[in-house]
Structure 1
Amino acid sequence: MELDVVDLSRLQFAMTALYHFLFVPLTIGLAVLLATMETVYVITGREIWKRMVKFWGTLFGINFVLGVATGLTMEFQFGMNWAYFSQYVGDVFGAPLAIEGLMAFFLEATFVGLFFFGWDKLSRRQHLAATWAVAIGTNLSALWILIANGWMQHPVGSVFNPDTMRMEVSSFYDVLFNPVAQAKFVHTVSAGYVTAAMFMLGVSSWYLLKGRHLQIAKRSVAVASAFGFASALSVVVLGDESGYEANLNQKMKLAAIEAMWETEPAPASFNIVAWPDMESRSNVFAIEVPYVMGLIATRSLNEVIPGIKELVEQSRDRIRQGAIAWDALQKIRNNEEGAGEDVRETLRQNVNSLGYAYLLLPYTDNPMEATTEQVDAAAWSTVPEVLPIFYSFRIMVACGMFFILFTAVFFYYSSAGKLDFVRQRRRWFLHIAVLAIPLPWIASEMGWIVAEYGRQPWIIESMLPTSLGVSSLSVGEILLTLIGFVALYSVLLVIEVALLVKYIKIGPEDDEPADDRPTSTSRSGSRTNAAAAE
């Protein structure tokens, strides 16, 4: 396969984004769990909760540092690899990212230092305030980044200026309260909470299996199982909201998720398993459940979900409409005689389809002269690769169902005081918890594949094709940096895993006896009398 600048630029950003998101969800979730546990410590005054905060805080710190290191590269790529995208939408897209840096990142970066080094310098309540500031800052950071990403999925609150060839903000309120962005935020943050909960359950289960740090492990299980169960339920509910928004604003993505080639009578069926074939533009086989997709996506019994082929037909119409907008834009840019208010009015009436005219540029220099075959090829280019989206979505959903069941069982055992029974008679369950640690990351990465790969061929939905957003770079330049980024990030990932494993093996300070007998603890958090005697 011949490599080109567009594919390599997409691959580079995808790799850096997927690497970065290995660190983000754990940071988001652990920050809130740390604040919750420290709140219990301040209320009760029990030193064991302080030791828990310090231990899990160490793992949080390792992850936080590497998350920052990998995140900075992503923002640089907008200028390096996606220069025209940055120029075209920078007035809109740049604002949330700037606010994220000024409001959220500085907040968490400032108070994270107080969290680690302020234990002996701040009062309990002051340190608790610093911990909550870290948690709030981490979640605010996710909010502003997802507002920017949500605008790419559903560009509202902005207008195209033909004189500057840029998108400009017309309503920051609409950008901020974009329903797609809000749904993405709560869904993504809840997924981060599940990631942290499953991580805490897995590590605590390992301690239970080894008979180490039992008091801390049991309390960690209690917190993580309750937090994880509530978060897993919210992920499913909010994921349903994301699907509903996709049906309103990204119908082609929804059709690809379902591998729905033909429009079905309402309510549409749901394909549990299928094998989509892009060449024949049909499914080789499919196992369907009647009515389910229609109920999920439309929340009604009579609303029709358009299939891929019908959406392609709609794209053909928008391509022809967009060609009219493109022609008017060329007249305005060239200052042609007669390009007055009537030409600008023609552009205004058709500007929402201008992006579809750009889909013709790989086939012709003048969209107004495009042939029927060229229009047809451009229309079918709006269909993303169905197979990876179809199965990425189902892997994500299957993981979500598992998280609900798994955290619910853990919550039952913990609240019923049966963790010792599990440790002695249900050890296989604890082994599953350890092996399940990677699953939330797999689910999150599958979710991003659905969200971003499912948006293709658009970098800005229905507005700017991905192929037009790249910088003027050579294949060799991008390939060199791609290899460099993958190598560097792989080293960082190995370092993180090694550090996490090292400090998990070391365990919390002030260990209690292996037989889990009650011990007394000094107010300063020194070693217990029983441990000292041993």
Structure 2
Amino acid sequence: MDLDVVGLSRLQFALTALYHFLFVPLTLGLSMLLAIMETVYVMTGRTIWRQMTKFWGVLFGINFAIGVSTGLVMEFQFGMNWSYYSHYVGDVFGAPLALEGLMAFFLEATFVGLFFFGWDRLSKVAHCVVTWLVALGTNFSALWILIANGWMQNPVGASLNPQTMRMEVDDFYAVLTNPVAQAKFVHTVSAGYVVAALFVLGVSAWYLRKGRHTELAKRSLTVAASFGLAASLSVVVLGDESGYLSSEHQKMKLAAIEAMWHTEPAPAQFTAFGIPDQAARETHYAIHIPFVMGLIGTRSLDGQIPGIHELVELADVRIRQGLLSYDALEQIRALGGKGPVPNDLRARFEEHSDKLGYALLLKRYVDDPRRATDAQIAQAAGDTVPQVAPLFWSFRVMVGLGLYFIVLTATFFILSARRKLDAYPWLLTVAVLSIPLPWIAAEAGWIVAELGRQPWAIEGVLPTAVAVSNLGIQTVLTTLIGFVVLYTILIIVEMKLMLKAIRKGPEDEAASPQGAASPLIGATPALRTAPMITTE
């Protein structure tokens, strides 16, 4: 990544998004686990389940509150670092964000306060309903955010108005039902469930190893193992769906993930291991598994997955087609809105308007793309290849950890069914040591999703290099350092608060009055966490 304004702006958004995404998945998953635990409490009337809900609720609240402070900053970055992005696609992009605030944020903000402070003010059933509404609001918030993010990956239901130079919504239903957005939503939410399940599993295993709060720990382990196994299996299935959709809408991303430099005969093989060399456009020491990539990418034995070299050649053609549309666009803009646009001119613009974004790739090298040389066009076509090595390894780390989570949760699920959760202390140690792993998998998945889209802020529509604000390097660098320092402090604060709450353990329900308020102090209801939307 070049450390110019574009590179620094990308780095800043990437780091703030990565920091923020440390909190998001745990919030998503814990909210559902709290709802499940409290439902069991209402159905059975057993106080231990109420104690569990309150204890894990404290950890949920700490993560929720600190996660919001990182999430709110991200939305301001669209205006600060990505002002042309906001101008160009704000009419489309802003709609899901507005709906997220109206339909999810208010729901979540209202009921999270009742969850913490309503134990002695609401009936058991009413409080359980509140907990489910918190979970619904948290996950519903993720839906709208990922609809917006999915549109960045697969821009449907919108077109460019050449007179205003803004993308406008043509079919909002198409935006809502975007298959990429729907796949991203269920995949991201399921990944959040895995994060929370492994967190509860690990903390509960630590209690069992220490011989503390064993009744709470065993029940929590049982819930986490069951919930985590279902979520881990769904992540694999939904990840397969995401791979299939990439073969339709983001062919270059799929080729880069596989380090597939040239188109192979169908069905393509999967590279289990290798060292991608982007300069030489080959993968050293590659170990292949026949047919697997073809089955994942096309779900057939005869479907072909194009390689990077062929996709670069296709990008060259699209850039030249986009120049025809760009030329017509400049003629329309020269009219200055004086009178209607001639039909032949509008027809020339619309003929290749879907390739206009490719012409804008030349803005990095020349102010007027129409003056670009063949060498500059070839260079811009080469820019459509993202960084292969980080994508290649991030994908394999994510998949490898995903398979490990299935094995781990299945093991504890079986032990729970046999009532032998504490029979193997070394397995409890493995569960404790596994706590950080789902976060690593989630961050790797984010890298695959977002870095794989480069060089596009909006896939095929708006290059990242064009989307940035007109800022100085010093300004971006200063804010970048400030965010890193602030977010690092927040993570340290969260970890200390979490560890303190875990060491303290759950409050003794027998020693406290029925319906005592949650020990969480200063929980602010008007907060939210949501999966990031990024121009990275």
TM-score clears 0.5: yes
1:94 alignment partner in structure 2: 94
**Contact 1:264/1:306, CA 8 A, preserved across alignment:** yes
Distance 1:368 1:88 in 2: 21
Deviations 1:369-414 (A, max 9, x none): 3222111111100000100000000000001000000000000001
Deviations 1:66-105 (A, max 9, x none): 1111110000000010000001000000010111111111
Q: What are the residue-to-residue correspondences of 1:109-120 with 2, within 5 Å?
A: 109-120=109-120
Question: RMSD between aligned alpha carbons?
Answer: 1.6
Aligned to 2:251: 251
Comparing 387-396 with 411-420, greater Cα deviation is found at 411-420
Partner of 2:410: 408
Instruction: Indicate conservation of the 8 Å contact 2:258/2:271, yes or no.
Output: yes
Q: Which amino acid aligns with 2:447?
A: I
* 1:499 and 2:497 correspond: yes
Shift of 1:339: 6.2
Q: Given the alignment of the two structures, is residue 352 of structure 1 paired with residue 342 of structure 2, yes or no?
A: no
Equivalent-residue separation in structure 2 for 1:396 and 1:91 (angstroms): 34
Q: Distance in 2 between the 1:99 and 1:2 partners?
A: 36
Q: Secondary structure at the match of 1:302?
A: coil
Deviation, 1:2, is: 6.4
Contiguous gaps of at least 5 residues in structure 1: 512-519, 527-534
Q: Who is 1:262 aligned against?
A: 262
| Residues 523 and 364 of structure 1: CA distance in aligned 2, closer, same or farther (over 3 Å) | closer
Q: Percent identity?
A: 64
Equivalent residue letter for 2:334: N
Letter in 2 for 1:205: A
Q: Does residue 483 of structure 1 match 2:461?
A: no
Contact 2:199 2:435 in 1 (8 A): yes
Aligned partner of 1:168: which letter?
E
Q: Which residue of 1 aligns with 2:522?
A: none
Cα separation, 1, equivalents of 2:210 and 2:363:
63
Task: State how many pairs are aligned.
Answer: 514
1:525 shift after superposition: 7.7
| AA at the equivalent of 1:507 | G
Find the aligned partners of 2:366 and 2:4 in 1 and give their Cα distance.
19
**Alignment-derived partner of residue 383 in structure 2:** 381
Work out the CA distance in 1 between the residues paired with 2:44 and 2:14: 46
1:351-374 per-position Cα deviation (integer Å, ceiling 9, x unaligned):
000000011122233333322211
Indicate the structure whose relative CO is greater, using CA pairs within 8 Å and at least 6 residues apart: 2
Residue of structure 1 in register with 2:333 after alignment: 333
The corresponding residue for 1:529 is none
- Structure 2 CA distance for aligned equivalents of residues 360 and 15 of structure 1: 27
Structure 2 equivalent of residue 530 of structure 1: none
User: Given that residues 270 and 291 in structure 2 are in contact (C-alpha distance below 8 angstroms), is that contact kept between their aligned partners in structure 1?
Assistant: yes
Structure 2 Cα separation of the partners of residues 129 and 7 of structure 1? 46
Q: Is the 8 A contact 1:81 1:473 kept in 2?
A: yes
Letter in 2 for 1:403: F
Which residue is 1:127 aligned to?
A: 127
- Cα contact 1:47–1:523 (8 A) shared by 2: no
The residue number in structure 2 matching 1:531 is none
Q: Secondary structure at the match of 1:419?
A: coil
C-alpha distance after superposition, 1:253-289 (max 9, x if no partner)? 0000000001000000000011111111122231101
CA distance in 2, matches of 1:364, 1:148: 31
Structure 2 segments unaligned to the other structure (5+ residues): 517-536
Residue from 424, 435, 438 that aligns with 1:437: 435
Q: Is the 8 A contact 2:243 2:296 kept in 1?
A: yes
Q: Would you identify which runs of 4 or more consecutive aligned residues in structure 1 move more than 4 Å?
A: 336-339, 520-523
Distance 1:322 1:2 in 2: 26
* Residues 82 and 470, structure 1, Cα contact 8 Å, conserved in 2: yes
Deviation, structure 1 residue 523: 8.8
Q: Tell me, what secondary structure is at the counterpart of 1:359?
A: helix
Question: In structure 2, how many angstroms separate the alpha carbons of the residues matched to 1:100 and 1:453?
Answer: 25
Q: Distance in 2 between the 1:128 and 1:523 partners?
A: 19
Whichever of the two has the greater Rg, that structure is: 1
Q: Is this contact kept in 1: 2:318–2:358, CA < 8 A? A: yes
Partner residue in 2 for 1:304? 304
Instruction: Note the alpha carbon deviations across 1:445-500, whole angstroms, 9 max, x for none.
Output: 00010111110000000000000111111111111111111100000000000000
Matched, 1:524 2:519: no
1: CA distance, partners of 2:495 / 2:513: 33
TM (normalized to structure 1)?
0.94
| Structure-1 residue corresponding to 2:530 | none
1:106 maps to what in 2? 106
Letter in 1 for 2:272: I
- Asked if residue 77 in structure 1 is aligned to residue 89 in structure 2, the reply is no
AA at the equivalent of 2:514: S
Q: How does 1:31-430 map to 2 (within 5 A)?
A: 31-335=31-335, 340-421=342-423, 426-430=424-428
